[in-house]
Amino acid sequence: MSMPVAPVDDTLGKTFAGKYRVEQMIGEGGMGKVYRATQLALEKPVVLKVLRQALLGDERTVARFQREAKAASRLNHPNSISVLDFGQADDGALFIAMEYVQGKDLHQILSREWPLPEPRVMRIMSQVLSALADAHSVGVVHRDLKPENIMVSQGRSEPDFVKVLDFGIAKIIDGSEDDGPALTRAGFVCGTPEYMSPEQARGAKLDHRSDLYAVGVILYQLCSGMLPFDSETPVGFATKHLTEIPPLPTKRRPDARVSPAMERLIMKALSKNPDDRPQTAEQFRAELLAIDKERRAAVGRRSGATSASSLAPAPPRKVTPLDQQETKVSGPPPGMSSPWSERDDTVKHVPGAARSATGQHGGAAARATRTAHDGTGAVAFKVATGILVALALLLGGALAMKFLGGVGDEVPSVTPHDDGAPLGPVPMKREDAARQRLWEQLTARTERRPTDADKALTVGDAELAGRRLAQAARAFEEAWRRDPRGEVALRLGEVARLEGRTDDMRSWFDAARRLELSPEASAYVEGCLKAARP
């Protein structure tokens, strides 16, 4: 039995336009073949895309091939493939010469190297979005973005350098030039079904937000290792993009490590309505990079958590018989008028901040207040107890004052609207504001709701990413009421900065500096405050 003989490709070894010698076929598509060639004058490798001979008589296909060359030639971005030449060989074959990129396409990386760390996903896709932003700015929509059209090369100083390829069905939407008749018939769909936006699947008119939907699909695939939908047919994929809400990546692939912020951004990009997606590639890229920035800040907070010893609970100690009893403490801290004078609290109800701040002195005072024995010396013991309690409260108040603000400084105080919602920080004199804040901090310490604060932060982050600043401010203010901490003050300061409220920005950032921040966040705050100085 004879083996079938592969047909000989007579293009191999051929020289196009006297300039490019074809060396090897590296790909094939519906419109033609792709070859690695050598530019003879410079002995430089290039890529030649050659239109099939059988299609030369199809005016529509020839026009689309020429439009690809025109669209790609408009692009001048480091992350977009560069078109070097366009012409026709002696036998009439049309070709496009492009730069040669040595590396792997994103489909190969996904197949061989998944799972990919989220920072690497961000590094790759931020470059893709940068290339799209450039293309969209000159009126070019890609319309066939997929992992196979994203090349990734590795350099010594620049890992994962991206080139976006194949604007073969790109649409030029700039109406300032006469690009001739439309090259797609009404209702005609072109693209790859797995990555099609709903409007593309309908055959509707497209704009740049269709490319951003494809970016969302690719992000979903990179993070979960799976496409948002499964189907056996192209029509099935298109139908699901039109009618079904994709499951969360972590639902589809529970073992995938996807951060909540990344998951929210992916689902936003996969919105059926283009108005609900990121509206530009620049905005999409900014939201993607903000996730990485927040991730690095969180790592910094975790690594610096051990330095916040003044806020950490006291180490566990051995419980003694003296600890089993309670002695009541009445009266407010020295120099403060507070509700403490109106209620009868025990030592166990003293807020945790005061207990941790007083440290060993507070522990000694608390232990000294226990009723250790009856009989002789009881009066002297009670006198000593009173002195130690006063000393402990003075030390606790001094440390808490130091935590809340330095001598002569101003501290933020939330001033409510008529309906009770806070407007933001208002500078106050230290003596009044610090006492007010000290009391709020100490009494609220055991009543805080960090889980509710985290939920409000998540809502606020989503609103801030969409540049809905008023809604973001309300969510962050709610988080501040639930748990006033540095990262909340940081966000409120950022909203104030974006709204141009410089005084409020200074107040919130100053509050953030006094609370626990990562080194990166602290550097950002210092930079903003320095830039805002008159």
Q: Specify the length of the chain in residues.
A: 534
Identify whether the C-beta of residue 508 lies closer than 8 Å to the C-beta of residue 425.
yes
Residue 134 phi/psi, 5° resolution? -65, -45
Q: For the purposes of burial, counting CB atoms within 10 Å of the CB of 59, is it exposed (0-12), middle (13-18) or buried (19 or more)?
A: exposed
Burial track 395-422 (b if 16+ CB lie within 10 A, e otherwise): bbbebbbebbbeeeebbbbbeeeeeeeb
Q: For the purposes of burial, counting CB atoms within 10 Å of the CB of 339, is it exposed (0-12), middle (13-18) or buried (19 or more)?
A: exposed
Phi-psi region of 249 (alpha: psi -120 to 50; beta: other; left: phi over 0): alpha
Distance (Å, rounded) from C-alpha 147 to C-alpha 22? Answer: 26
Strand blocks (E) in 8-106: 15-16, 20-28, 32-39, 44-51, 83-88, 94-99, 104-105
- Spatial neighbors of 439 by CB under 8 A, at least 6 apart, are 336, 338
Q: What is the largest CA-CA distance in the chain?
A: 119
Q: Give residue 501's identity as a one-letter amino acid code.
A: R
Distance (Å, rounded) from C-alpha 285 to C-alpha 125? Answer: 8
Catalytic residue at 144?
yes
Catalytic residue among 9, 90, 134, 144, which?
Answer: 144
Residue 326 phi/psi, 5° resolution? -125, 140
CA distances from 165 to 28, 29, 47, 409 (A): 14, 14, 11, 57
Which residues are known to be catalytic? 144
